[in-house]
Amino acid sequence: MIRLCNGPLETLDGLQQQGFSIWSSKPAMPLSNPEYDILSNQGAFVLPLQWLCHILLEAYFAYIAPTVPILNRGEFMQSFFSSHSEQRTFSHLLVNAVLLAGCRVCSHPCIRDGDGSTQRLSSLFYQRAKALYDAEYESDKVCVVQALTLLGWYWEGPEGIMDNSFHWTQVAITVARGLGMHRSMKNSGLPGHEKRLRKRIWWTLFCRERTLALSRGRPFTIRESDTDIEEVTADDFEELPHSREDVTVRYFLQYIKLSRLVGEILQQRQLFSKTTLTPSSSSSLRLKHKLEFEHRLHSWYDELPADLRWEPANQDIWSSILQLYYYAVLCLLYIVPTHKGTSAILARDVGSRTEQHFGLRRATTDASMISCILAKLRAFGQINFVPCFTVYSACVAMIVHANEILHPMNDEDDVDAAAHRIQLEICINALGDLSKSWLVAELCLDIASPVIDRLRTYRMVV
């Protein structure tokens, strides 16, 4: 088992003794001796032994790559594991970013801390990748975009303004725009495989920004009206090792469609937050738009391939991840921001009585589905393989269940209150599991702990 030292960047001798070794590769760009010495002392050119790299890369391509299809696996693995040192042309920046993302979803005990967390090792890979990025070590700008996208798998904490997924995603988008990835490549002179790769990278950033806008309340900068890039199709996955008919390809295509709807919903919410309509007119118009979006979301679901529709006995993780996103978006329709825009309250607090009742019923049903999916992921041992967005889905469901325990629609319905209490515990347990990989889940539990303690004894049946 690899034991990590207290510092984020260990000494070279210490790393070699603990299972790390120096890998030789062609420099991405010339460095002066002082620059190279600084990066070397930071451990930037030190990587784990091959067996550990293999474990982390397998985890990455199994559970990260389908949501972030920004690498050609065969090409990447060939450059990394080549038996001839002169053919090892991999980028240390990109490799460290990939290992960072991979350790988030790797269940091997050697990469876990004593408390089961991956925070120490992910911090190690992050600090190395960041040092290489800050030194402008990598000359291949496409490689830089790929690495920047994956640096978003690190989150230092609530005080980290720059060390978070939103910051790195925005930087990646900026560099991608500079490379023209948002523009049509039909008439470009790029090779076909390069066009397909760039298209997948751009749409990955599109989806990534939408999910962050939804879960973190951040603005998004990619407007479809400002781009003319072609849509991704199954043909754009030719270089990947699986068939174009693979479920993960269909998953990503549906992920894009759902993310586009999310963008429209968030824009509509922003417009309503600035409305000058009377309360009654605003309520009527708001309900109309909610029904329209709900209809479009249901249409999206109805058109899903059969293998992406979640079933309780289905152990395929991609249908579960996609449905967690879907039901969280449905809940979003009936959870509205406060007048200050700093928190969220359920629809019972605004609008007409009809809208309140309608919204609460819908949100309750959707939250119950989220809890059910989380329970199955835990039962199948898959909860540690899901993306960070799952934390948001669990929190949304927890808010709805808490609301129903404290303010049930039927004050006499203790059976419903008991059911919501069970579902609340499912969300709490899921967040506890997720906190081993995602620090934000631990923060959510800490913030909610006073309310959780109250809810556990509230309205208990005597």
Q: What is the DSSP string of 121-169?
A: HHHHHHHHHHHHHHTT----HHHHHHHHHHHTT----TT-SSSSHHHHH
The reported pLDDT for the residue numbered 150 is 98
Q: Does 282 map to a domain?
A: no
| Helix, coil or strand: residue 46 | strand
Of 342, 340, 352, 341, which is closest to residue 282 (Cα–Cα)? 352
Amino acid 3: pLDDT: 32
- pTM value surpassing 0.85: yes
pLDDT tops 90 at residue 271: no
pLDDT of residue 309: 93
How many domains does one find in the chain? 2
Residue 298 inside a domain? The answer is no
Tell me the average pLDDT across 284-293.
Answer: 80
Identify which has the larger pLDDT, 439 or 162.
Answer: 439
The yes-or-no verdict on residue 39 having pLDDT over 50 is yes
Q: What is the pLDDT at residue 339?
A: 40
Of 127, 147, 178, the last residue of a domain is 178
- Taking a C-beta distance cutoff of 8 angstroms, is the pair 349, 360 a contact? no
Q: Is residue 333 part of a domain?
A: yes
Q: Is residue 114 part of a domain?
A: yes
Whether residue 420 is contained in a domain is answered as yes
Q: Output 412 or 141, whichever has higher pLDDT.
A: 141
Residue span of the structural domain in which 82 resides: 12-178
**How distant, in Å, are the alpha carbons of 210, 269, 386, 456 from that of 289?**
20, 10, 31, 36
Q: Among 294, 454, 287, 411, which Cα is nearest to 354's?
A: 287
Q: Is residue 292 part of a domain?
A: no
Report how far Cα 302 is from the mean position of its chain's Cα atoms: 24
Query: Contact at 8 Å (CB) between 214 and 392?
Result: yes
> Pairing between strand 344-346 and 335-337?
antiparallel
Would 434 be classed as within a structural domain? yes
For the cut 70, the answer to whether the pLDDT of residue 185 exceeds it is yes
Residues 444-453 have a mean pLDDT of: 88
Q: Rounded to whole angstroms, what are the CA distances from 448 to 232, 283, 403?
A: 40, 30, 13
pLDDT in tens, 83-112: 555 555 789 999 999 999 999 999 888 888
Looking at the domain assignment, is residue 174 inside a domain?
yes
Alpha carbon dihedral 287, 288, 289, 291, in 10-degree steps, equals: 80
Helix (H) or strand (E) holding 345: strand 344-346
- Write the burial class of residue 214 (CB in 10 Å: 0-12 exposed, 13-18 middle, 19+ buried): buried
Least confident of 11-20, 161-170, 264-273, 388-397: 11-20
Where b means 16+ CB within 10 Å and e means fewer, 169-190 reads bbbbbebbbeeebbbebeeeee
User: How far is 202 from 182, CA to CA, in rounded Å?
Assistant: 7
What is the pLDDT at residue 38?
A: 86
- Tell which wins on pLDDT, 334 or 311: 311
From 178, 204, 239, give the residue that closes a domain.
Answer: 178
Domain end call among 139, 161, 178:
178
What letter represents residue 64's amino acid?
A: I
The band of 16, judged by pLDDT with boundaries at 50, 70 and 90, is very low
Over its C-alpha atoms, the chain yields an Rg (Å, rounded) of 23
CA-to-CA dists, residue 452 to 103, 128, 427, 455, angstroms: 30, 38, 11, 5
Residue 112 CA to residue 117 CA, distance in Å, equals: 5
Question: Angle CA(287)–CA(293)–CA(294) in degrees, nearest 5?
Answer: 85
- pLDDT tens-digit profile of 216-264? 888 899 999 999 999 999 999 987 665 666 899 999 999 999 999 999 9
User: Whole-angstrom Cα distance, residue 334 to residue 218?
Assistant: 19
Residue 88 in contact with residue 80, Cβ under 8 Å? yes
Give 337's strand partners: 344
In the DSSP assignment, the letter for residue 347 is: G
Structure-token match 């109309």, residue found: 288
Q: What is the mean pLDDT of residues 36-63?
A: 89
| Residue 14 clears pLDDT 90, i.e. is over it | no
Q: What is the identity of the amino acid at 61?
A: F
Q: Are residues 173 and 315 in the same domain?
A: no
* Out of 22-26, 294-298, 299-303, least confident range: 22-26
- Minimum mean pLDDT among 170-184, 221-235, 383-397, 443-457: which range? 443-457
